[in-house]
Amino acid sequence: MKNWLNSAAVAALIGTASLATAHAQTPPEPEAGTTPADTTVQPESMPMTEGQLNPTVEDARTFLEATEAELADYNEYASRIYWIYSNFITFDTERLVERVGAEGTEMAVRMANGTAPFAGMDLPQDLRRKMTNLTAGITLPAPSRPGAAAQMAELTTRMSSAYSTGSIDIDGEEVTLDQLEVLMGTERNPEFLSNIWNDWRAAINPAQMSQDYAAMVELANEGARELGFSDLAEMWLSNYDMPADEMEAEVERLWGQVEPLYEQLHCYVRAELNEEYGDEVQAETGPIRADLLGNMWAQGWGPLRDIVSVGDAEPGYDLTALLVDNGYDARQMVETGERFYTSLGLDPLPETFWERSLITRPQDRDVVCHASAWDIDSRDDIRIKMCTNVNAEDFRTVHHELGHNYYQRAYQDQDTLFQNGAHDGFHEAIGDFVALSVTPEYLVQIDLLDEADVPGAEGDLGLLMDLALDKIAFLPFAVMMDQWRWRVFRGEITPEQYNSAWWDLRNQYQGIYPPVERPADAFDPGAKYHIANNVPYLRYFLSYILQFQFQQAACEMAGWEGPLHRCTVYGNEEVGARFNEMMEMGASQPWPDALEAFTGTREMDGSAIIAYFQPLMSHLEEANADRSCGW
Ligand code: X8Z
Ligand code: ZN
């Protein structure tokens, strides 16, 4: 992982693994007085010098060299501690991550403040970028006053552990979240679904978590202001090589591009659910009941593939069934994922990956089950940690996690402050782009599907619907997650309003509603990993836009002429080499440069995902013509 910057957020960080540092744009010019001189501290390895008063470019270089050395050292040390905590959640490992987390936050804030003397200088581009990354790359700052970082670490650790150790009781059996996730996809009894949906939200100690969250927001906002931002929302939005307000407008623009796709899908799925369950359970109009969508958070609806059919256009096979019938286990899923990357000409994973990764849930202890990829030493000690189930969703997740690892390895020769994704959405998009190549033709090549079972063109709509249930359904969820947080950070949503505002946004963006009345002490946002663990979520929305841009560009490179959703770049070393060139850049250049290197465009653009799903959308528009869509 290496999320020292995120360190206060404990294992949180990881999901993406290396959040190391970040990108940059023009640094938020610390206005006079926003960065108190008395908090400006230098890395331990660099004593205060006279140059401070009138620093030179050489001083800046020396400062950054010392900072990067200290960071690299801390990253490896902290990663090992977070790894152990995430694999053994105990009283003692919690104390260790609290301590290393507080140290990391103090270090990060000290380093960010240490850039102040260089703020007005005309620095070479790489040095300026590094300075900016030092500040904008912090996920959860604490104020530099004594004790604040420790308090932050205690709050974030308590939330993280409450989430990861939560479980519910079903008929006297203790059931953990990874098992509940499977049940949400396979069970169809509405009462059972609403029970497990509701019980999970009670299992995370919501009353305590809500309080902890509010205290954390106070502290982090104070920390953000000390670093020259108006609040944490502005800080999170400052990590994209453009001013925060422009980035927020960019999100609106992208969401506006894809919203019509979601409205059609919502309309169609609601009608299918109404047919399946009847008016009592799912009305024909209005929002959709959240627990009927096949997923604990209604964020991906893939499991509804058997309810939501597109006329006769069945894909004709079910990836989960293929994996199960072919006797796949977790390790084989990961090996198959690796084989895809090596087919692109990338190196196999190191032996230590197999020795050190955790790929199934251990039965004897608490672990952080949410899938993550780690880069422990910025060299070859890369690993994943996930509680893999043998199904289509986890097959995709395996490719997703390996994408993080391959990115980490590609940029390992960059300087420490550039060892990161071009932006965090790139990091999330690598493996998803690869998984878009899991087509029927690809499944034949790896002996999972018989040639005779490859659907012809008549299966196209079914194949697209399968994917839309994951990719299109996800978009409004990914937007609303951070809409909620930005408003919380800005004080527009107060702690008393946490849950009601959450459901207002769920309704507004996704058109869903809770199956059970929410109790007064509910904290439903905290029942989602990335909120309990402070992992920003905008990255996933951007990733879902970018991965289709990558796919479009890759298939063009490959000379593919058929429909985009049938294109697989499996075995294409030319595409692999070009893709790796982008990955090797890490965060050394503004992200538009990285995007251009692979796709030829400098803009994030929803038109690729729109083109990809065009045949399905035309069909849905027709099918929905007589329905009153919306909610
Ligand atoms: O958290 C993840 C990955 C780790 S970065 C498993 N994802 C998001 C989620 O689960 O909510 C991948 C897609 C969205
Ligand atoms: Zn990820």
**Ligand with the closest atom to the CA of 369:** 1
d(CA 141, CA 221): 8
Beta strands in 463-546 (DSSP E): 512-513
What's the rounded mean pLDDT across residues 264-290? 98
Q: What is the pTM of this model?
A: 0.93
Residue pair 13/1 in contact by the 8 Å Cβ criterion: yes
Residues 6 or more apart from 219 whose CB is under 8 A from it?
142, 143, 148, 151, 152, 155
Protein residue with least CA distance to atom 4, ligand 1: 15
Residue 19: predicted pLDDT: 30
**Ligand with the closest atom to the CA of 385:** 1
What's the rounded mean pLDDT across residues 377-389? 97
Residue 383 has pLDDT above 50, yes or no: yes
Distance between start and end Cα atoms, the chain: 41
Residue 2: predicted pLDDT: 39
Residue 46 has pLDDT above 60, yes or no: no
pLDDT in tens, 592-623: 999 999 999 999 999 999 999 999 999 999 99
Ligand 1 within 6 A of 540 CB?
A: yes
Residue 20: predicted pLDDT: 31
Ligand 1 within 6 A of 298 CB?
A: no
Backbone angles phi, psi at 235, to 5 degrees: -65, -45
pLDDT in tens, 546-596: 999 999 999 999 999 999 999 999 999 999 999 999 999 999 999 999 999
Residue 52: predicted pLDDT: 59
Strands 173-176 and 167-170: what pairing?
Answer: antiparallel
**Ligand with the closest atom to the CA of 427:** 2
Distance of CA 529 from the midpoint of ligand 1 (Å) = 9
d(CA 414, CA 427): 16
Ligand 1 within 6 A of 295 CB?
A: no
Residue pair 71/130 in contact by the 8 Å Cβ criterion: no
> Does the annotation count 266 as an active-site position?
no
Residue 546: predicted pLDDT: 99
Residues 6 or more apart from 232 whose CB is under 8 A from it?
140, 141, 217, 220, 221, 223, 224, 489
What's the rounded mean pLDDT across residues 403-414? 98
**Whole-number percent of the chain with pLDDT over 70:** 92
Residue 11: predicted pLDDT: 30
By C-alpha distance, which of 104, 165, 218, 584 is closest to 370?
165
Number of DSSP helices (H) and strands (E) in the chain, helices first: 23, 6
> Does the annotation count 427 as an active-site position?
no
Of 234, 401, 423, 428, the active-site residue reads 401
Residue 426 has pLDDT above 70, yes or no: yes
Residue 627: predicted pLDDT: 97
Residue 184: predicted pLDDT: 98
d(CA 487, CA 266): 26
pLDDT in tens, 186-205: 999 999 999 999 999 999 99
Confidence of residue 311 (pLDDT cuts 50, 70, 90): confident
For residue 478, the ligand 1 atom closest to its alpha carbon is: 14
Distance of CA 386 from the midpoint of ligand 2 (Å) = 12
pLDDT in tens, 163-178: 999 999 999 999 999 9
The 3-class SS string of 302-341 reads HHHHHCCCCCCCCCCCCHHHHHHHCCCCHHHHHHHHHHHH
Residue pair 552/611 in contact by the 8 Å Cβ criterion: yes
Protein residue with least CA distance to atom 8, ligand 1: 540
Beta strands in 459-503 (DSSP E): none
Ligand 1 within 6 A of 15 CB?
A: yes
Distance of CA 536 from the midpoint of ligand 2 (Å) = 11
Residue 24: predicted pLDDT: 25
For residue 370, the ligand 1 atom closest to its alpha carbon is: 6
| Two tokens, residue 162 | 């409450």
